Structure 1
Amino acid sequence: MHTVYSLLDGASRTQEVAQTAAQWDMPAVALTDHGSMFGAIEFYLACKEQGVKPIIGVESYMLAEGSRLERKRQSGRDGGKELCHFTLLAENETGYRNLLKLVSDSWLNGFYYKPRLDHELIEQHHDGLIAMSACLGGEIPQAIMNGQQEQARKTALYYRELFGANNFFLELMDHHTPEQQAVNLALVELSRETGIPLVATNDVHYVKDSDAEPQDLLLCIQTGCLHSDPNRMRMSSRELFMRNAEQMWELFGELPDALLRTREIADRCNLELKFGDFVLPEFPVPEGHTAGSYLRQVCNERVGRFYQPVTPEIRSRLDYELQVIEDKGYSAYFLIVWDLIDFAKNRGIRVGPGRGSAAGSMVAYVLGITELDPLEYALFFERFLNPERPSAPDIDIDFPPERRDEVVAYTIQKYGTSRTAKIITFGTMGAKAALKDVGRVLDMPIPQVNELTALVPDKPGTSLQQALGEVDELRRRYESDEQVHNLLEAALRLEGLTRHTSIHAAALVIARDDLTNYVPLCRVSGGEDNVTQFDMGAIDKIGLLKMDFLGLRTMTVIDEACVLVRKNHNLPEFDVHHIPLDDKKTYDLISRGEVVGVFQLESGGFQRVCRDLKPDRIEDIVALVALYRPGPMDYIPDYIDRKHGRKKVVYHHPLLEPILETTYGIIVYQEQVMQIGRDLAGFSLGEADAIRKAVGKKDAATMAKVREKFIAGCEQNGIQSKVAKQLMDDIEAFARYAFNKAHSACYAVVSYWTAYLKANYPHEFMAAQLTSVMDKRDKVISFIQDTRQMGIEVQPPCVNTGGRNFEVHEDHIVYGLGAINGIGLAVADAIVAEREHGAYADLYDLCLRVDPRQVPKAAVEKLIRAGACRAFGNRQQLLDGYEAVWEAAHRAQADAASGQGSLFGGLDDEAGADIIAPQLRSLPEFGTDELRAMDAELLGLVLFENPLGELQAQLADIELEFTATGELAELKPQTEVLLAGVLEECFAFTTRKGDDMLRARLNDGRGTASLVLFPKTYAQCASLAVQGEVVLVSGKTEAPDGRGNGLPSVIVERLYRPADWKKVKRPAGRNGVRRNGTPAPRTAFESSPLMTGAEPGPVNGNGHGAVNGNGHAPVEVADNPPVEIEPVAADYRLLEVKLQLGGELRERLRVLAETLRQHPGELPVILCLEEGPRRRRLELG
């Protein structure tokens, strides 16, 4: 049986295999994936669930001769196949353990294109295994097909001798191919001669016969071939489907012994895997100690650091936890985690305060594994480790992503490569991937496939079946277009199949001894890391210790921000661990909803909730983190109203008040459910955890038992039955959405830390945020916009003053050199390192001093275009002359390296002093449009000028009332609005009908909104819909845009220039003028603290006289009411025409040329051809 784990070859899903075997009353089914055991645990459990015996095996790749340790291709005997198939089945646990060893070694030592076994290895690990000669690709069938009958006989006898007379079988298969028929006859004869028994088997690659075509497509995907390619790889038969007993008797009725032998083998294979036991590694402890006694000693030594005084309550809690941990055998686990975190902290690696239920443990707190006092936050150890039921501790740890590998490396070094491995993950074929893969191998037009793919909703987890049910257009095309129907049918069968392997980014497994005693290992994508062949779920089931080293970008931000605060504010001891949790500035910032960049709180919805709630204590943030999820979000308005006294808090019983007081009578946390069970019904906390589990899983049967016990317990405590029932009703209603308070509290503290940094050290915090996302252009843009709105100037990069990262200089932030598109961190590091020897005097000095292997000429060009070399001249000058400067500097470096240097020898130490640096020509700076385009391409947005300053200037005399972007989220869809701001991130694209439309962002100085210009509007406004333009926007609100950025969205009806404000269509119900006749307020612009440019731009856009400030004649884009175009100023001497490259370009050029010929004039006409960053200018007359 080849399942989906025979990657892109097998198409049998394990659940389907098990269900089919059960339906056909098959007593057993064997797993024999190619060279691996990826799906062994999943297959084993699926079969057990269906009452079918699972047989674990593998169809291995066996070298016919030679050593697996040799990394070269060898020809087989007399031109036969070097690498042959060989089937192995685990008869018992010994065989299973040997199978683990064989498969692991084939990957770790024998891999060369395939994981290979050889005779030497199989001789070491053959006990407990049943071997079979395999399919036509087997060693014996290959010898037969090559006419080597004697070699086939020798090989068969060798394997019989090795495995034993009753443990090696000659396999017969019948998939109606001439080759198979001939081999079968030879195998029957070989069996008669040697006495080696025959067994009839079925080479299964898919469950149903109708799956032959989808499996063939899967093979095409794997090999990268078109389905129509006559020379592509194909399976030898289209009958590799699962057969029942009757079908097998039809094939092998003349050889009944061979058929019956399958049952004999199945009866002999009795592997019982154990699940639920935990195989924890040992921790090295001092002589005379056990893990339990040493853990107790360490905790007793440390408890005084965290609690003063150590009260009897604290001592009792600590002793209780230590006893439970020791009784369950987890002392070593806590010591292992403590050691890893201690290593990280000693190396200066920031560690998160905790996550998940581990923060409920006082032992974890005292060890420094978590940083929240469980007593202060009312957290329960039993939520983490229940003494009354089997449960394994699971402590996840947050590290900065860029330093996580240091902790992983330490763990591997400490416990050894034979006991540690990373964990595999399997990528499956999602709905869209299946469509694209199948469309590609069917050679369907890419645009057509992309159209269909675009119809599948982007919602994670959406299947093709769901999409067909929800999307009318997709269903219509499926039903009406035969090609589309066939594509979707094939994709439906392939969707969800395993497509590739990769390594889990955060997980590492640690074993007590050699890992291959428990799990098969492999390597992924040519890497050197040992990787388990079992995924996370299977690792948990077999009980191995899994460590999750999670990378959290916020840890990087906090770390970098603290470094900058220490440096810039002379606070050498500053760290977020020492800040107060009652800082007014922090809560004020959160209450204003200014939470962009604040951990967990930065979504648009969270911003509104923060403004409504106005949190003033850490408990409010803990509750918000718990409530802001689908389901419990419904309780947020109640929580807010109760906090602010608009609704009365009512408790059904006085004992509830101390439990629910902090959440205003609402059950928010699972820990509250447990506390109610303990304090009102007399449950132990272990018993009370059963309530939490029953409610959370919506287990009706268990819930009924818990309900009965709860009511009885309440009655014993003097609580009336009626009240007890009401309490249980409330628990069932509220607690199904209750969240883990320990996790909420940990993340709320991180939220507070980031808010504190933003409120008290905004420059350092935003610089750290920007540095953390340098490789994500959209994030850089978003954070720079937020930084500007905070009143903090972001200056362009500079090779003399900027660093690799974003840095704080006095009252502004300097753009990091490493964030420039196409530069990279290595180039930035090289420039900054050389600058330690002094600032660069000019462009020649820069080119002369840097190593051209580290900073190539292309990087210098990008630095110039990004404005990073502006200290040496304007961009047009530098781009005009940089190649000559580079060549001169390169010659000087070459001369210095060859010893030629200066004619004056040692009198002149400067390398290349005799080379005369080329002089830059005196040229004016590029026009505004060119500079904007360069900034947008290399920096993501315009930095050489501050558009918000221009915004205020242009709106100074406008008598209109505008809606601030921050108010849009509060408005209903289809509300008419009038906005004013600067266009950012303009993205034009073509619809399925071939029309151009645009998405853009509008920044009004206090926030941003998403704009949508449909084709008709875009056609009218295209000349104005340009990044960096100041515009007035008339449109209607819609729901937040679907790109996941949470911005309020506006459908644009018109764009206007500020100068044309009198022509603006005012929103319904507004006259746009204050009642006293003075202009309406423009608080969104006038109150913006940042209204000055970072670097003065050119006086006009293109070196010619400009009418409207950007170098172009004014363009009227508002067609209601119609107006005449304003006269061109007398000094205007240039007309620029911009055309977008596309299929109609030739026709457009023809029309343009004909128009110019018919209407000659004195003004020059320059044609600008643009395609992304590429531009050409043609003078036409």
Structure 2
Amino acid sequence: MFLNVHSSYSLKYGTIDIKRIVAQARALNIHQLVLTDINNSTGAMEFIRECEKQNIKIDKTEQDEGNVPYLIKPIIGIEFRLEHKLLYFGIAKNKEGMKELNDFLTWHNLNQEPLPIKAPAFKNAFIVYPFCKDKQPALASNEFVGIRSEQLNHLYTYPIKNFKDKLVVWHPVTITNKVEYRLHEYLRAVSLSTLLSMVQHGAKCTKKEIFIPEQEIKEQYNQYPFMLVNTSKLMDACNMDAYLTTEKFSKNKKTYTKTGTHGDKILLRRLAFRGLKYRYGLDNEVARQRVEKELKVIEALNYHAYFLITFDIIRFAINKCKFYHVGRGSGANSIVAYCLRITDVDPIELDLYFERFLNEKRTSPPDFDIDFSWDERIVIQQYIFDRYPKGDVAFLGTMSTFKDRAIIREIGKVLGLPKDEIDGFTDPTKERENRLNPTYTKLLYVHQLMKNMPNQRSIHAGGILISEEPITYYTALDLPPKGFPTVQWDMYEAEFIGYEKFDILSQRGIGHIREAIKIIKENIGDEVDIHDFKTFRHNPKLNAELKAGQPIGCFYIESPAMRQLLKKLTCEDYLTLVAASSIIRPGVASSGMMKMYIQSYHAPDKVEYLHPIMKEQLEDTYGVMVYQEDVIKICHHYAGLDLADADILRRAMSGKYRSKVEFDKLVQRFFDKAKELGRDEEITKEVWRQVSSFAGYSFSKAHSASFAVESYQSLYLKTYYPKEFMVAVLNNYGGFYSRWVYVHELQKTGAKVHLPCVNNSDEVVNIKGNDAYLGLIGIQGLEGKFIESIPRERRLNGLYVDLEQFVKRTQITLEQAILLIRLGALRFTGKDKKTLLWDIYTYLGHKQKKLNHAELFKTIHKTFSLPELENSEIEDAYAELELLDFPLNFSMFNLLKTNYRGDIMASDLHNHIGKTVKMVGNYVCEKTVHTIKNTKMWFGTFLDAKGDFFDTTHFPNTTPMYPFKGKGCYLILGKVVEDFNFPSIEVLKFAKLDIHMNPVAVD
């Protein structure tokens, strides 16, 4: 009798999650119901799966005793609303019917067309319109009218005899109880962006929209038994068995070639062995056997198409677009992927296990993570959508939920609280004070109800699905701002349904590499083979730069924490960098693994191994299970588990295994198999303790290796082509640090960096020989059209000759011209800024007239002599601060009122270990962390007056609540400490230094 059930996926409307819907229905012995969420089918597959799951849990004794089991027949559909007004809801008869409903909603979403008042003709779906006493609609054979129990009194004036077979019971379900009704009201207010008291009655559900026993419904409609019959017939006609499978099958595209699976198998084998020759030569038997082993597993799991589709994407990127990519993640454990150039990580060299990526016992599908440059990814995405049939390819969605502070803000707004009061409620420092406030207590109560509820659908960072059958069998599609069709559920639901995603991701590090290679060729003429990693990874000059620990601009290794780690490890080779890329992760560092690894790295002879197998397998990482592959190794070599079971156990300990019973069986097998091998029981217990404690923190070695390859490639470019590389970093919007840090780094290479100039600058930074000109794109406030048109006009018609010609050719406005003058971008005229500011008003100071580009005669203007106008370096520095966000040629140190630059410089810190020193540092960045006692501490990074980095630690007991006050120079008093030969400052006192005021502001 429940044709219209809303879950919490009816965003900011329904309050009940899928699991509770099924549980409540079972508790009331409801045998069939229809999930119809508003304008989405997000929960449809989850609902069917949950019904099946809870049906399986029926107590066997109930069936044996002849009791009626609480079996639930799931039926799915969609409720269609236009601007919050209910139009009708559709109920699928079968899988084809759900596709029709999804297709209907998808068409309107993708074409951004409003839903029609009248539903189209569906062959395999029913439509139910809400009852209206003043309207008797013309209904098709599949259409009905739903009437609520409170509307039954209207039937006295309604022509029942004309609609007797068309009226059905309509008892919507949206909430569970009165408390959830209040929550529903809050959700509606948030959705409508209005005050709680202003939500109209028609925008809310009624308090009766709860599950009740079916007998109660029958009593409500006892005078109209034909409605009960009509409703039962409608529901009985629905069957979702096509979605119910005892075995989970992959929904991805099953074949790549036209000849099907057999053709895929032949093609993948041919490509793999062609790549084997490219990667390893003709006579590497170890590699050949590894390829054969992997192909056997790929064939058994019918994974050919997934590899071939990924290969096709990479081939398009390399051959057609000349794009650079990085294949990372667990896919780098595969030698077949290495041979297909999906990844550049050699799994044999790094002893990577294919089972970490794919094995016959793995229940969840793996995927490849492919990174492209941030500005090239869209081309690859478009290729995929064009390459495969429309409707068979879509982006993955995500579902954001209501989070802590955001909830408080939303609730505060709908209650009409002033902004200052809301800000106070979200301030963690006022938590104790707030708890005494009754309004805050009220907010907290609603917060607990709303927390983690679905809030809004969005788009996954890069996941794409390529389906064997139309995706609308399983979901309707949205059209987010990116403009690509997107499914209405996330990656976890995709995995449950049986989809493996293709992760097409992006990062700026690849853009740095790509553009650096281009600039090197243009500025120097050198051709750089950046993929020749095996050659330059052993380059001593490169490794010396790595050991120096100053790789600013280099992907993944430029952050303060990574720079420190590189120095602590005296890292000077690829394998150590791979380990560093893993242990730098927050979970690893906080678990103590990082410190243990560094200690063991510097004293390998003092490492004590529990067992010879532990030494044999973990000697490269000094007994520490740095990688997920290490966990697999120990489970396999020490305990005797096969590699597939070892990976399943590793996944389970990482929280990615859902069956506790099966997990416990695997743990027992670990101990049983170890005993069979004659391992000492006490040692086995300790080995298991280490395995289980490390497994949750360890990182994929293949992932780390992929990062390390890219880091080396960046470091190679920075080492041999530092100027061009830093220009590339700037043109790809930097990395970890602010833009000025990279400009500073460019200056350190010896390049002469110039302020923007309309006769020399392009949109982005350019370099010619040793001269680098900052781009117009970095000027704050300069409009995009002038950023593009000024250099374009210069390239087309030659250099600008004087101010008047510049104004006429560019059609620039007064305000925009003033920005350029104040920054010195019109210095080609030979006039100072004050004179130019005076002159620009001659041309543009009155109401601007449209000036033509072409003139028959040049108008000669009178010239006037101006008094001498003063310019100062400080005034210029302030203009640069305002318009570039940093002064280029007049450092922050020069702005200080004091000439004091500290007692020591960063390069001399190692000579003052244990001493208290004074330093002056230009603020670079900070990091806030919470201690075990939930107090704050900070880590700071600064540059000294010589331009060298140093780092600070600010403990809670010696630091004010907010120690950093933005950019500028700070006086630092602290103790020099050393950790594995890396010196830093433990701050005792800390204050921002005063600077000279802007002369213009003073005037």
Query: What's the TM-score, normalizing by structure 2?
Result: 0.84
Query: Over residues 601-629 of structure 1, what are the superposed CA-to-partner deviations in whole Å (9 max), with x where a residue is unaligned?
Result: 33333322221111122111111222223
Are 1:350 and 2:310 counterparts? no
- Name the counterpart of 1:1076: none
- Name the counterpart of 1:637: 595
Are 1:746 and 2:706 counterparts? yes
Q: Which amino acid aligns with 1:833?
A: R
Are 1:802 and 2:758 counterparts? no
Contact residue 1034 and residue 1054 of structure 1 kept, 8 A: no
Residue of 689, 700, 706 corresponding to 2:647: 689
Aligned-residue offset at 1:404: 0.5
CA distance in 1, matches of 2:985, 2:6: 50
CA distance in 2, matches of 1:778, 1:571: 29
Contact residue 359 and residue 746 of structure 1 kept, 8 A: yes
CA distance in 2, matches of 1:980, 1:530: 54
CA distance in 1, matches of 2:719, 2:897: 26
Residue of 471, 493, 496 corresponding to 1:541: 496
Q: Which amino acid aligns with 1:816?
A: G
C-alpha change, 1:209 and 1:788, in structure 2 (3 Å) is farther
Query: Over residues 789-808 of structure 1, what are the superposed CA-to-partner deviations in whole Å (9 max), with x where a residue is unaligned?
Result: 77766432222222322234
Query: Over residues 888-943 of structure 1, what are the superposed CA-to-partner deviations in whole Å (9 max), with x where a residue is unaligned?
Result: 997684273xxxx325xxxxxxxxx2354977956535445543332222111112
C-alpha change, 1:883 and 1:386, in structure 2 (3 Å) is farther
- Name the counterpart of 1:45: 49
Q: Which amino acid aligns with 2:503?
A: D
Are 1:5 and 2:9 counterparts? yes
SS at match of 2:325: coil
SS at match of 2:503: strand
Are 1:280 and 2:222 counterparts? no
Contact residue 963 and residue 979 of structure 1 kept, 8 A: yes
Aligned-residue offset at 1:517: 3.9
Contact residue 762 and residue 791 of structure 2 kept, 8 A: yes
Aligned length, in residue pairs: 947
CA distance in 2, matches of 1:551, 1:762: 24
Aligned-residue offset at 1:216: 2.4
Contact residue 355 and residue 397 of structure 1 kept, 8 A: yes
Q: Which amino acid aligns with 2:859?
A: D
Residue of 383, 388, 394 corresponding to 2:356: 383
C-alpha change, 1:233 and 1:771, in structure 2 (3 Å) is farther
Contact residue 979 and residue 1032 of structure 1 kept, 8 A: yes
Are 1:1007 and 2:965 counterparts? no
Aligned-residue offset at 1:576: 5.1
Residue of 458, 469, 478 corresponding to 1:502: 458
1:711-726 alignment, distance < 5 Å: 713=673
1:923-1002 alignment, distance < 5 Å: 923-948=868-893, 954-955=899-900, 961-962=903-904, 964=906, 978-982=918-922
- Name the counterpart of 1:31: 35
C-alpha change, 1:5 and 1:658, in structure 2 (3 Å) is same
- Name the counterpart of 2:123: 126
CA distance in 2, matches of 1:490, 1:965: 55
Of the two, which has the highest radius of gyration?
1
Contact residue 585 and residue 756 of structure 1 kept, 8 A: no
CA distance in 2, matches of 1:918, 1:48: 89
Aligned-residue offset at 1:828: 2.7
Residue of 71, 81, 106 corresponding to 1:104: 106
Query: What is the Cα-based RMSD across aligned positions, in Å?
Result: 4.2
Contact residue 365 and residue 500 of structure 2 kept, 8 A: no
Are 1:818 and 2:774 counterparts? no
Are 1:902 and 2:871 counterparts? no
Contact residue 214 and residue 493 of structure 1 kept, 8 A: yes
CA distance in 1, matches of 2:492, 2:347: 29
Aligned-residue offset at 1:341: 0.7
C-alpha change, 1:680 and 1:1049, in structure 2 (3 Å) is closer
SS at match of 2:327: coil
Residue of 392, 404, 416 corresponding to 1:443: 416
Aligned-residue offset at 1:825: 5.5
C-alpha change, 1:895 and 1:945, in structure 2 (3 Å) is closer
CA distance in 1, matches of 2:605, 2:520: 43
Q: Which amino acid aligns with 2:800?
A: Y
Residue of 814, 831, 834 corresponding to 2:790: 831
CA distance in 2, matches of 1:707, 1:1011: 42
Contact residue 773 and residue 779 of structure 1 kept, 8 A: no
Residue of 75, 79, 84 corresponding to 1:59: 79
SS at match of 1:943: coil
CA distance in 2, matches of 1:764, 1:952: 36
Aligned-residue offset at 1:655: 4.4
Aligned-residue offset at 1:874: 2.9
1:509-588 alignment, distance < 5 Å: 509-524=465-480, 528-575=483-530, 577-578=532-533, 580-588=536-544
Query: Over residues 719-749 of structure 1, what are the superposed CA-to-partner deviations in whole Å (9 max), with x where a residue is unaligned?
Result: 6666555544443344443322111111121
C-alpha change, 1:518 and 1:571, in structure 2 (3 Å) is same
Contact residue 877 and residue 920 of structure 1 kept, 8 A: no
CA distance in 2, matches of 1:856, 1:117: 50
- Name the counterpart of 1:173: 148
Contact residue 1009 and residue 1050 of structure 1 kept, 8 A: no
C-alpha change, 1:966 and 1:608, in structure 2 (3 Å) is farther
- Name the counterpart of 1:1062: none
CA distance in 1, matches of 2:748, 2:987: 20
CA distance in 1, matches of 2:864, 2:374: 46
Task: Name the structure, 1 or 2, with higher relative contact order (CA <8 Å, separation 6+).
Answer: 2
Contact residue 844 and residue 886 of structure 1 kept, 8 A: no
Contact residue 165 and residue 226 of structure 2 kept, 8 A: no
C-alpha change, 1:777 and 1:725, in structure 2 (3 Å) is closer
1:521-920 alignment, distance < 5 Å: 521-524=477-480, 528-575=483-530, 577-578=532-533, 580-633=536-589, 634-645=592-603, 647-697=605-655, 702=662, 705-710=665-670, 713=673, 727-773=687-733, 779-785=738-744, 787=746, 794-811=753-770, 813-823=772-782, 826-836=785-795, 837-850=797-810, 852=811, 856-872=813-829, 873-886=831-844, 893-894=851-852, 896=854, 901-903=855-857, 913-914=858-859, 916=861
Bigger shift: residues 705-714 or 836-845 = 705-714
CA distance in 2, matches of 1:45, 1:962: 67
Aligned-residue offset at 1:406: 0.5
Are 1:483 and 2:445 counterparts? no
Aligned-residue offset at 1:56: 0.9
CA distance in 1, matches of 2:775, 2:118: 55
- Name the counterpart of 1:206: 175
CA distance in 2, matches of 1:859, 1:1031: 35
Query: Over residues 452-508 of structure 1, what are the superposed CA-to-partner deviations in whole Å (9 max), with x where a residue is unaligned?
Result: 2233xxxxxxxxxxxxxxx6x335424x33333333433443343433333334222
CA distance in 2, matches of 1:735, 1:225: 48
C-alpha change, 1:742 and 1:1056, in structure 2 (3 Å) is closer
C-alpha change, 1:47 and 1:920, in structure 2 (3 Å) is farther
Query: Over residues 684-727 of structure 1, what are the superposed CA-to-partner deviations in whole Å (9 max), with x where a residue is unaligned?
Result: 43233234234434987556544554455456656666655554
Contact residue 477 and residue 484 of structure 1 kept, 8 A: yes
Instruction: Could you tell me which runs of 5 or more consecutive residues in structure 1 were left unpaired when the two chains were aligned.
Output: 63-72, 74-80, 456-470, 904-912, 987-998, 1039-1046, 1058-1108, 1113-1135, 1137-1165, 1169-1176
- Name the counterpart of 1:401: 374
Query: What's the TM-score, normalizing by structure 1?
Result: 0.72
Contact residue 874 and residue 925 of structure 1 kept, 8 A: no
CA distance in 2, matches of 1:767, 1:961: 34
C-alpha change, 1:247 and 1:1056, in structure 2 (3 Å) is same
Aligned-residue offset at 1:93: 3.0
Contact residue 694 and residue 702 of structure 1 kept, 8 A: no
Q: Which amino acid aligns with 1:961?
A: D
CA distance in 2, matches of 1:103, 1:861: 52
C-alpha change, 1:694 and 1:429, in structure 2 (3 Å) is closer
Query: Over residues 47-101 of structure 1, what are the superposed CA-to-partner deviations in whole Å (9 max), with x where a residue is unaligned?
Result: 4444454321122359xxxxxxxxxx9xxxxxxx9x8622322233343333333
Q: Which amino acid aligns with 2:828?
A: A
Query: Over residues 96-147 of structure 1, what are the superposed CA-to-partner deviations in whole Å (9 max), with x where a residue is unaligned?
Result: 33333333344346x53x434745x32xx332x34433xxxx3xx23x23xx
Instruction: Could you tell me which runs of 5 or more consecutive residues in structure 2 were left unpaired when the two chains were aligned.
Output: 56-71, 927-938, 978-983
C-alpha change, 1:449 and 1:524, in structure 2 (3 Å) is same
Q: Which amino acid aligns with 1:60?
A: F
Q: Which amino acid aligns with 1:862?
A: L
- Name the counterpart of 1:223: 192
